[in-house]
Structure 1
Amino acid sequence: MTGHAILELPWTAPPLSMNDRGRTPGARYAHARRVAEVRGTVHRLAQAAQLPRGLDHVTVQLHYRPRDRRRRDTDNLTATAKPAYDALAAGTKAHMAKPEPIIHPAERGQGGVLWLEITWEAK
């Protein structure tokens, strides 16, 4: 059995970035809260989508279409992707492939959008 799902994320820009440099205790706590928010949100969206459990292999890829044409780097999406992937992997023994995130071209008049594409295989 194979399947496919798209989880539309509620953020218009990545809530976390590799460029965040929190050196103070307050900044570290704020970062930890954002990580927990991403994990919790993705977990709830996966439950609402009724994604199957007990899968053999899952591929998850983060997609981002920014609101403008400024230069962006897929490396910075890793900070948002990691807790999202962790939320999907929680409680499963499936192997998970995580291809590099994709940044799509901005579309005039459209806001930013993030989503996860998930494909799976089960025997």
Structure 2
Amino acid sequence: MVKNAPPLTSNQRLHWRARSALTNLVRLGVTNAAKTARIPSGHHLTVTLHYRPGDNRRRDADNLVPTLKAACDALARGPRRDWIGLELVPDDTPEHMTKRMPEIHRGPGVRRLWLTVEVQS
């Protein structure tokens, strides 16, 4: 998605412009990654956000939902033409997209953030 960028979290208290800039970075990163991976359009997507923080500290998976939301918005832009994103499905409603709870992979290693996208035709 976005290299060397921490995920958006529910606990961040940012000015709206700073938050918007970070959200656009996530959307742009997901859009570029999906284009590179040549993810096809489909009838339904199942999306899971994975996060490896690089340490063993405890974290709440639901705290990563703002990052998941921005990623899903990038995959299903909907009617908004001014947003960054693709139209792999018409909208990110449950009819067209299943958003699984983010998964945190604790342990040492390089900090990483990635998506898995399953496409049903």
Considering the TM-score relative to the shorter chain, is it more than 0.5?
yes
Identity %: 42
Residue of structure 2 in register with 1:100 after alignment: 101
**Deviates most, 30-39 or 92-101:** 92-101
- Equivalent residues of 2:2, 2:25 under 8 A apart: no
Number of aligned positions between the proteins: 107
- Equivalent residues of 1:14, 1:80 under 8 A apart: no
> Which structure 1 residue ranges, 5 or more long, are not aligned?
1-8
- Where do residues 1-123 of structure 1 align in structure 2 (5 Å cutoff)? 9-12=1-4, 14-22=6-14, 27-53=15-41, 55-90=42-77, 91=87, 92-93=89-90, 95-107=96-108, 110-122=109-121
Q: If you compute each CA radius of gyration, which structure gives the higher value, 1 or 2?
A: 1
- Equivalent residues of 2:27, 2:71 under 8 A apart: yes
Q: Which amino acid aligns with 2:18?
A: A
- CA change 1:65–1:12 in 2 (3 A) is farther
**Other structure's SS at 1:106 match:** coil
* Distance apart, 1:13 and its partner CA: 5.9
**Other structure's SS at 2:31 match:** helix
Higher RCO (C-alpha under 8 Å, 6+ residues apart): 1
Give CA deviations for 1:68-120 in whole Å, capped at 9, x if unaligned.
1111011110111110111011223261000101111213xx12111101111
Q: Distance in 1 between matches of 2:107 and 2:5?
A: 12
> Which structure 2 residue ranges, 5 or more long, are not aligned?
78-86
Cα RMSD of the aligned pairs, angstroms, is 1.5
Q: Distance in 2 between matches of 1:84 and 1:66?
A: 18
Residue of structure 1 in register with 2:83 after alignment: none
Q: Could you state the TM-score of these two structures normalised by the residue count of structure 1? A: 0.79
Q: Could you state the TM-score of these two structures normalised by the residue count of structure 2? A: 0.81
Give CA deviations for 1:20-45 in whole Å, capped at 9, x if unaligned.
123xxxx2111110001111111111
- Equivalent residues of 1:65, 1:113 under 8 A apart: yes
Q: Distance in 1 between matches of 2:3 and 2:102?
A: 16
